[in-house]
Amino acid sequence: MKKIIITVLIVVFALHANADEGMWMLNKIDEKTAQAMKELGLQLTPRELYNPDGVSLKDAVVDFGDFCSGVVVSPNGLVFTNHHCGYGAIQKLSTPEDDILANGFVAHSYAEERPAEGLFVRFLQRTEECSTRVMQALDSIYRANPTVESRILDKNNIDSICNAIERDYEKANPGMDCQVKSFYGGNAYYVSIYKVYRDIRLVFTATNTLGKFGGDTDNWMWPRQTCDFSVFRIYADENGEPADYSPNNKPLHPKRYAKISLDGYQPGDYCMTVGYPGSTSRYLSSWGIDERVNARNVSTIQVRGKKQEVWKKFMDADRAVAIKYASKWAGSSNYWKNSIGMNKAIANLGVIAQKQQLEDQIRQWYSGREDLKARFGSVFEKLQQAYADRRNDIYAQGFYNETFNRGIEIGLVGSRLCRMSQDADSAQIAVVREDLQSFFKDYDAALDEATTAALLQNYREQVTDQKYWPSCYKEIDSLYNGDCKAFAHDIFGKTICKDISCIDKLLADSTLREKDPVLRLSEEVPEISQMLYSKQRENNNIIKHNERMLTQALLEMDQENPHYSDANFTMRLSYGFIQDYTAQGQQFQYYTNAQSLLDKAAKQNEIEDYKLEDDIVKLMQTGKWGRYADKNTHDMHLCFISNNDITGGNSGSPMFNGKGELIGLAFDGNWEAMSGDISFNSSLQRCIGVDIRFVLFIIDKWGKADNLIKEIF
């Protein structure tokens, strides 16, 4: 095992990087990579990018809520991120009477800023390698049976080792949040140490029409005109340390904040993102890609499409319901369209065939050497068989999860109550009450009843093998003649689970656990999940081990080329340059301007996603851009594209120029390269960002937030 670690370190971290592909760890930028970035136009040294013992650019970048990225832009803790990253917090602060989600919000003073309950940001302090400790601990556990495969298969042992390392680091670094994560499919491990601030307040958001301009119509598309940003502020105690919300807290004075550039960009100009990409599968085998396309993505596309049809009817009919479900809709539709685009791009670009060619190269590489053949010779056969053996289970599991775990909401209430103590004095009751109060704030029972009926019917139509059906279908067939709508109407009429009173009703009458139809359903439905988990366990273990070995084979075979680890929501750097692209014979320019926004807004009567308020239209029609105008074209640039390598989680990532100055915020990728999480295509894949000048123009001229403009500059 030690030999494998050393090989990975030599192969991976001493390699020259491509200009446009790669999500690179900031603490592992070698001389060749630094030289490549310098040749493209970077004027900062690696030490100025990452310095755990001092101040560097990484100190201006934050993990925003553990789901997005953000950047500090002022000496008083002002944070820019995407509108869609702040969407959940904005939605929670909205009511029909004070609909800041629709109307926007501007705080002209600290006193007007609104606490965003539950939101937090993390600042990375440093990242350290801990592979040796993980592997030595596994050696100790498995001395009696020291096979590589048994070490890798036992996830529980790896988790317990990583948890122990985290506890040791947190003991040595009081107040810090320490996370150990695997890299290169389990070939290496690193611990990241974070300082976490939990008093975060909303400062600015534009109207929903501007922050989501283009909506589902333009999502994952270029060209874009979306002003996808929101502004928050970090608060701390009087010593600048993390603290829970208090009116006595003060704006944080950060170690470093990003300087903003109004100079713009040209094709070929250096561009760099620093942020937290969530998950990629670039090393996945051809069988794994096929499963992703034809088993996993199918359920995401099909079930969410059905669910969103129901949701839309209720949201269009009632603004209060629309506010409640705004954030849920955004989350659901985003990956619904992502899955559609991914499947289309993988097919159009022949990604599976490309992966098969690479696998043939690996076979040829090890075929002439017995030592390599002994290590890697059985990998492909085992992967092919294990993926085939679990195919039907994975297909059913996808529909099960989308239907019962992500679709039928009342079942989540039932599950929570089923696990709740019956002791009214238990501390657990307060936790459950707080969780469900938050849930019911954004819940509509009539919508959920209609969704439940539609998804129950859809599940039985899509998953035809009855061994995958929860036992509730026996009741539907025997008592309701197969009518899922009648079943849903009956259980919603009889259940206690539709509002917060359910807790007290259950505490007062424990027999409801057996009598309430939703509580009964919540006890029965997990039987399918447990069955699927049990059936897949052996194949899952085989796949995990052999996918890891396949990654190792590629790293050893291709030692002369760069290899970065798949994204895992740790801080990464991507570098490249501003660049347009051509797809299917059409040339796409590298930026959009104000007129393109007005052209789309003119279609708002036909396309709802292009709706804009009159005052915004008039503002954009003036053509008075002031210092925010581009110095070359003399118009307003709205969004732009680069060949930076990003994925989900990078939303809100700062886009820096060669001086380390902020020129935009990354918020999307392009439709033609939606296979990017699986395979990077340098000629097509683009990072879409909102121009920082567009952001500041809206803050200044629409929001009239002179206080923020003065603070930033």
Q: Note the pLDDT tens digit of each residue in 588-645.
A: 999 999 999 999 999 999 999 999 999 999 999 999 999 999 999 999 999 999 999 9
Residues 147-170 have pLDDT tens digits of: 555 555 567 788 999 999 999 999
User: Phi and psi (nearest 5°) for 268?
Assistant: 95, -10
**Residue 20 confidence (pLDDT):** 64
Is a pLDDT exceeding 90 seen at residue 508? yes
Q: How confident is the model at residue 19 (pLDDT cuts 50, 70, 90)?
A: very low
- Calculate helix-pair angle for 517-524, 526-557, nearest 10 degrees: 40
DSSP string, 547-598: HHHHHHHHHHHTTTS---PPP-SS-EEEEEEB--EEETTEEE-SEEEHHHHH
**Residue 330 confidence (pLDDT):** 92
Mean pLDDT of the chain: 93
**Residue 17 confidence (pLDDT):** 39
User: Phi and psi (nearest 5°) for 97?
Assistant: -80, -30
Those residues whose C-beta lies under 8 Å from the C-beta of residue 619, and which sit 6 or more positions away, are: 701, 702
- Calculate helix-pair angle for 297-317, 379-400, nearest 10 degrees: 20
What dihedral do alpha carbons 445, 449, 452, 454 form, nearest 10°?
-130
Is a pLDDT exceeding 90 seen at residue 11? no
The secondary structure element, H or E, covering residue 695 is helix 692-697
How far is 651 from 636, CA to CA, in rounded Å?
Answer: 23
Contact 505, 558 (CB under 8 A): no
Question: What's the mean pLDDT in 323-341?
Answer: 94
Other C-beta atoms lying within 10 Å of the C-beta of residue 286: 20
Residue 526: is the preceding peptide bond cis (ω within 30°)? no
Those residues whose C-beta lies under 8 Å from the C-beta of residue 31, and which sit 6 or more positions away, are: none
Measured in Å, how far apart are the chain's first and last C-alpha atoms? 53
Is a pLDDT exceeding 90 seen at residue 403? yes
Contact 643, 576 (CB under 8 A): yes
Contact 625, 653 (CB under 8 A): no
Residues 124-151 have pLDDT tens digits of: 999 999 999 998 888 887 765 655 555 5
Torsion-angle region of 443 (φ positive above 0: left; ψ -120 to 50: alpha; else: beta): beta
Those residues whose C-beta lies under 8 Å from the C-beta of residue 634, and which sit 6 or more positions away, are: none
Those residues whose C-beta lies under 8 Å from the C-beta of residue 542, and which sit 6 or more positions away, are: 382, 383, 386
| Residue 97 burial class via C-beta count within 10 angstroms: exposed 0-12, middle 13-18, buried 19 and up | exposed
**Residue 16 confidence (pLDDT):** 36
Catalytic residues: 84, 228, 651
- Provide the sign of the torsion angle of the four alpha carbons 679, 684, 690, 691, taken in this order: positive
Cross-strand pairs, 79: 72, 232
The structure tokens listed for 232 are 């928050």
**Residue 154 confidence (pLDDT):** 64
**Residue 8 confidence (pLDDT):** 39
Long-range CB contacts (within 8 A, 24+) of 56-60: 56/256, 57/256, 57/258, 57/274, 57/656, 57/660, 58/26, 58/124, 58/274, 58/571, 59/123, 59/254, 59/255, 59/256, 60/254, 60/256, 60/257, 60/258, 60/654
**Residue 315 confidence (pLDDT):** 97
Those residues whose C-beta lies under 8 Å from the C-beta of residue 599, and which sit 6 or more positions away, are: none
How far is 286 from 284, CA to CA, in rounded Å?
Answer: 7
**Residue 158 confidence (pLDDT):** 87
Is a pLDDT exceeding 80 seen at residue 502? yes
- Where exactly are the structural domains of the chain? 286-531
The secondary structure element, H or E, covering residue 328 is helix 319-348
User: Phi and psi (nearest 5°) for 417?
Assistant: -70, -35
Is a pLDDT exceeding 70 seen at residue 4? no
How far is 577 from 145, CA to CA, in rounded Å?
Answer: 51
Those residues whose C-beta lies under 8 Å from the C-beta of residue 555, and which sit 6 or more positions away, are: 7, 8, 11, 12, 184, 187, 563
**Residue 15 confidence (pLDDT):** 34
What share of the chain in percent tops pLDDT 70?
A: 95
Q: Is 80 helix (H, G, I), strand (E, B) or coil?
A: strand
Residues 33-90 have pLDDT tens digits of: 888 899 999 999 999 999 999 999 999 999 999 999 999 999 999 999 999 999 999 9
Residues 550-568 have pLDDT tens digits of: 999 999 998 776 679 999 9
How far is 400 from 295, CA to CA, in rounded Å?
Answer: 12
B/e letters for 643-654, b = 16+ CB within 10 Å, e = fewer, are: bbbbbbbbbbbb
Please give the order of strands across the beta sheet that includes 687-691: 572-577, 270-275, 654-656, 662-669, 687-691, 637-642, 591-593
Question: What's the mean pLDDT in 485-494?
Answer: 97
The structure tokens listed for 34 are 């630094």
Q: Which residue is listed with tokens 């929903």?
A: 208
How far is 684 from 582, CA to CA, in rounded Å?
Answer: 7
Contact 257, 637 (CB under 8 A): no
